[in-house]
Amino acid sequence: MNSGDNSGPHMKTLLKALLGTVVTLLVVGFVFRGNLIEFAKDAITKDMFVSADNDSFDPGLAIGSTFPPLMTQLGDRHVTNISEFIPDKGMIFIANRSVDW
């Protein structure tokens, strides 16, 4: 019975210490939240970007260059000039380069 009687005060002391630690951490976190957020961002993005693109991968056409001629089939006819499909307001053309090319 004596061991049971002693566990109560020790448990209360342990819980008070734990609660005090949690409250202290919350207060410190609130006071230094700006610095902690910056630290977290820096840690997450540390090796995210490279300083130079120096690999051998060639992504294809440069920005602003002319798209190469296309050939497709529309119904019974072969189409090589898409200008007939461009209305008065222009056209948006999206090309998705396959990974398997």
CA angle (72 as vertex; 84, 66 as ends), nearest 5: 65
Its pTM stands at 0.36
Residue 53: pLDDT over 90: no
Strand locations in the chain, DSSP E? 72-74, 77-79
Q: How far is CA 4 from CA 7, 9, 11, 32, 83, in A?
A: 5, 10, 11, 42, 90
Q: What percent of the chain lies above the pLDDT cut of 70?
A: 88
Q: What is the mean pLDDT of residues 27-54?
A: 88
